[in-house]
Amino acid sequence: MLDIATAYNKYIFLGNEFLTWIWFLIEKEKDIASIIESKEPVSLEIGNSLVLENNLGDKSKEKITIKGDKAGLEEGTTALKKGAFVTELNLLCKMGEEEEYKFTIKGESFNITGLKTPSTQTTKSEDELEGIILEKAYLLLKVTGVIDTLFLKYIENRISDNWKSKGLQEINNWIHGS
């Protein structure tokens, strides 16, 4: 394994590419459950924030932040055309019949903030505490499992022989509108 700090900086782009790919999957209404081979329905929606960054070459960066419920994403697509990548994304993930998770994920670190899981019991009596903890742990492992599996699917596509002719081509067509 590479030195952790070196690897972190060297492969930041993979996380940002992944978030950009998620946006593409959502826009093109791809079947997330089938991509990650999930037995239960899984869907993703863009939540209330999206951040893009564009390296301008001289160590400076252009940052575009779109915030707000039902905010228009036109500025984001314009930024993509200019070479930007998504660096932070607020997502709504629905699983099964009624499970909803909302969270923000950063491309470079995969840090998760503002995560709301489906509601669990709220009583904190000693007898019930263990049940609440086990339920929370299950939900957290489940949603992070979806993120990891989807990310590894992206990497699998990215290193496949037909990436340039298929995967990349589809994203290019989406971004540039052909």
Sheet of 61-67, strands arranged across: 61-67, 42-55, 85-95, 99-106
Nearer Cβ to other proteins, position 41 or 55? 55
Among 27, 28, 61, 134, binds other proteins (CB under 8 A): 134
Residue 66 is encoded by which pair of tokens? 């779109």
Nearer Cβ to other proteins, position 41 or 106? 106
Using DSSP, state whether 100 is helix, strand or coil: strand
Binding to other proteins by residue 56, rule CB under 8 A? no
Smallest distance from the beta carbon of 50 to other proteins, in angstroms? 16
How long a stretch of residues is the chain? 178
Binding to other proteins by residue 166, rule CB under 8 A? no
Among 13, 56, 63, 162, binds other proteins (CB under 8 A): 13
Nearer Cβ to other proteins, position 41 or 129? 129
Nearer Cβ to other proteins, position 58 or 159? 159
User: 28 exposed, middle or buried (CB, 10 Å; 0-12, 13-18, 19+)?
Assistant: exposed
CA dihedral (79, 160, 108, 145) positive or negative = positive
| Stretch in the footprint of other proteins (CB under 8 A) among 27-35, 70-78, 91-99, 166-174 | 166-174
Residue 115 is encoded by which pair of tokens? 């995560």
